[in-house]
Amino acid sequence: MSVALAPAAPPSQEALLGLFPPGTALTPTGELLIGGCRVTDLAERFGTPALIVDEAALRHRARRYADGLAARWEKSRVAFASKAFPCTAVYRLLAEEGLSIDVAGGGELALALAGGVDPASLVVHGNAKTEAELRMAMEAGAGLIVIDNLDDIDRLERIVTTEQPVLVRVTPGIRPDTHAAVSTGQDGSKFGLPLPQAREAIARLRASDRLRLDGVHVHIGSQILDTDPFARAVEAVAGLGTFAVYDLGGGLGARYTYGDHPPTIEEYLDTLVGTARKVLPSDAEIIIEPGRSMVAEAGVTLYRVVTVKYGEPVFAAVDGGMADNLEVALHGQRFEATVATRVGGGAPHHLVGRHCESGDTLSADVLLRDPRPGDLIAVPATGAYCFSLSNNYNGALRPPVVFCQNGQARAVVRRETYGDLTRRDLP
């Protein structure tokens, strides 16, 4: 995942709108409409920065995944990898669409339960699950716990009181073409068990009188823009034997910029299921765990320009930055942007944040049309990980999450207050 420069020729308005949630449109004066809501109205009502989610776009994405997988493999389910957007309202929405939920850690488990998720649909992950988290999962009635290491087996056998279904996470030795920080299937990964150790765990679990081995799990990384590694991962777990469940993980990339051309959901599913038909038992259950590709395109972040510095380069600084979007600093992820009331075109600017780091750049050499202090800036494809990784650097207040649909907007997470910054302090 490399940092891309702005295209040599200005993209069309149509190309730019293609990065926003489906259905995003322009008013006659050239202002963005997200979920039927004018961005100036959203900014006035909820302030900036603000994470705007097109609810209909998110529901449509979930249905494409769920319906597409069910049409290809009858005994199957989709589990949202909720680390991508662990927000109670998102849990609730995706549960309403019939999705299972993948949680990593006690906090995500608590949020999922607060969102009304059926505990039996939960898939519990984590490379270092504590005994307290395992107890929490079992007491909640979590459907599947993923064994990531042999210590997981020791802890579960010590504390389990009724039969607990489990999967074994396998590290298949596959390194996809993505950023090292989000590659998880290669040799030397901190996640899962290499094939020899996975076989050891499988044998031990088959002999357990407390843990029920339902199957195996594999997840090779995130923001993967090629289907071939997914096929190889399916083939790798097939070699471990016959099981009732094969959890094939997630990892499909999202479209962040003009040069990104990830496989479609349908192409991704064709690859997984096509390979599964060749190497997996036809009566097994297949689970997939999309995260980034489920939620990225549904989110748009609104900022307000604070200052413009003319020189080489020209800096447009906004009222947010790495406190609400760490994807650039952590992974070198490229984002596009536009002045929200003058969409498309313009000259290259360095769109930067307000935080005290030179690395606080939202997008280098992004095309903006005459940004001025007070203008709104819209950054598309921020639905994945921006909320998850938001923070209080420089005392920043984490932004609200606003759902929009059919011209109606509602906050589902309020903006933090300065009082929130001191709420946990003790005298």
Say which of 37, 87, 356, 386 is annotated catalytic: 356
Q: Can you say whether residue 311 is alpha, beta or left, with left for phi > 0 and alpha for psi between -120 and 50 degrees?
A: left
Burial class (CB within 10 angstroms; exposed 0-12, middle 13-18, buried 19+) of 380:
buried
> Which of 312, 381, 321 lies closest to 347, judged by CA?
312
Positive or negative torsion for Cα 290, 295, 297, 298: positive
Please state whether beta strands 299-309 and 315-318 pair in parallel, antiparallel, or not at all (unpaired). Answer: antiparallel
CB 211 within 8 A of CB 205: yes
CB 40 within 8 A of CB 341: yes
Distance, in Å, from the CA atom of 353 to the CA atom of 320, rounded to the nearest integer, reads 5
For residue 356, indicate whether it is catalytic.
Answer: yes
Tell me the C-alpha to C-alpha distance, in Å, between residue 328 and each of 183, 334, 352, 382.
16, 7, 11, 11
Positive or negative torsion for Cα 144, 146, 150, 154: negative
So which residues are the catalytic ones? 356
